[in-house]
Amino acid sequence: MSDQKSKYKLGTSVTLEKTFNAQDVEIFAELTGDKNPVHLDEQYAAGTRFGKRIVHGMLISSLFSTVFGTIFPGEGSIYMGQSLKFLKPVYLGEKITAKVTLTAIRDDKPIGSFETTCIDEAGDVVVTGEATLLLP
């Protein structure tokens, strides 16, 4: 698979920014069925440790899929696995930057490992993890 190693450079990082609004959260809740009121009901969320509505963690982490499938490595990439840790809440209207970094490519197969992070406007990591992809 030396052609894969020459095609993709270890350490390559790509970022994508997105600000999630109420409509994004409501559509995600409708599509997935995750209608936890901490995401949808301002009054309910005000009584939680978060103090206001938060964005679904899986919605935030879906930015990784967007990067992988459309930017880097791009079309033809196939997700094989993803670990995630949710470290801080993300509130509606916060700009999030998703970053993926290629950390390894297998010698025997076109499979890459990536570090995945989402960072909030304050520069704090809100989601971290690792992904494995079949490279196109």
For the chain, 136 residues long, the average pLDDT of each consecutive 10-residue run is 72 98 98 98 98 98 98 97 98 98 97 98 98 97
| pLDDT value, residue 5 | 60
Q: What pTM value is reported for the model? A: 0.92
CATH number of the domain within which 76 lies = 3.10.129.10
**Residue 26 located in a structural domain:** no
Burial class (CB in 10 A: 0-12, 13-18, 19+), 122: exposed
Looking at residue 4, its pLDDT comes to: 59
Taking the CA of residue 71 as centre, how many other CA atoms within 13 Å lie in the half-sphere pointing to its CB?
A: 16
Could you tell me if residue 112 is inside a domain?
yes
Residue 76 lies in a domain: yes
C-alpha closest to that of 53 among 19, 97, 21: 21
Residue 69 lies in a domain: yes
Q: Give residue 68's domain range.
A: 2-19+57-134
111 lies in a domain? Answer: yes
Instruction: Report the number of distinct structural domains present in the chain.
Output: 1
Asked if the structure places residue 68 within a domain, the reply is: yes
Residue 41 placed within a domain: no
